Amino acid sequence: MAARASSKRPARPAGPAPAAPRPAKPLALVYLLGWLIPGGGHLWLGRTKGLVFMVMLPLMFVIGLALEGRLFPFTPGEPLVALASIANIGAGLPFLIARTLGYGAGRAVAVTYEYGNAFLITAGLLNALVVIDAHDIALGRK
Amino acid sequence: MSTASHLLLMALFAGCVAVVGGVLLKDTPREQARGAAEIFGSLVGAAFVLGWIIYFLPI
């Protein structure tokens, strides 16, 4: 009888929806750290997988520079160049260092120019994915 | 870098993306290694398939 009565009960008591999970660390700092230092957000949240990102993403960036790829300037008049520029910025500190030191001029006639661009752009985009993953971890979703 | 092989560079790119992708998407080291291998194989395999398709196109 009791079992029948309990089976009629709703699975969850009626009432206000459960509150959104509170982040363990300030999200803005997780984003900033994760963007500046690839994998830094993960490490701050106690996930050692951040070490892999910390090695691989700057490595991809350096390979891209070595292959004579270009760090694109932000030119809103040329949408594809602007998108490539945003992707470059996604690499974080390696991008800022390279830009400050004058690297990434690119040599369009080099055989490896497009490969270099692929490495540089992909490093930035993958870092964006890593930051999004850190966001999920900070919210306790992973 | 002018002597770099296209195939080697493609494999290097696929390897880097595979390692990051595998670690990002999975949690245990075993799953991460398997995920990375799958991503690497998919990228290189797709490049070979597309390469052969393009080879037969009159362009």
Work out the angle at residue A82's Cα, subtended by the Cα atoms of residues A80 and A89, and round it to the nearest 5 degrees: 125
State the ipTM, two decimals: 0.89
Is the pLDDT assigned to residue A25 strictly greater than 90? Answer: no
- Summarised one tens digit per residue, pLDDT across range A101-140 is 999 999 999 999 999 999 999 999 999 999 999 999 999 9
Between positions 13 and 72 of A, the ones with CB within 8 A of B are 49, 52-53, 56-57, 59-60, 63, 66-68
* Closest Cα in chain B, distance from residue A20 (Å): 23
Structure confidence at residue B37 (pLDDT): 98
* Closest Cα in chain A, distance from residue B43 (Å): 14
Structure confidence at residue A1 (pLDDT): 44
Contacting residues of A for B32, CB less than 8 Å apart: 49
H/E stretch holding A98 reads helix A93-101
Structure confidence at residue B59 (pLDDT): 77
Nearest to A114 by CA among A73, A74, A72: A72
- Summarised one tens digit per residue, pLDDT across range A60-98 is 999 999 999 999 999 999 999 999 999 999 999 999 999
Confidence of residue A2 (pLDDT cuts 50, 70, 90): very low
- Summarised one tens digit per residue, pLDDT across range B1-57 is 555 799 999 999 999 999 999 999 999 999 999 999 999 999 999 999 999 999 999
Cα–Cα distance measured from residue A103 to residue B49, given in angstroms and rounded to the nearest whole number: 35
Helix, strand or coil, per DSSP, at residue A57 = helix
Q: What is the reported pTM?
A: 0.86
Q: Which residue type, as a one-letter code, is found at position B53? A: I
Contacting residues of B for A59, CB less than 8 Å apart: 16
Nearest to A106 by CA among A61, A60, A71: A71
**Least CB-CB distance to A111: which of B2, B19, B21?**
B2
Is-contact A88 B37, C-beta < 8 A? no
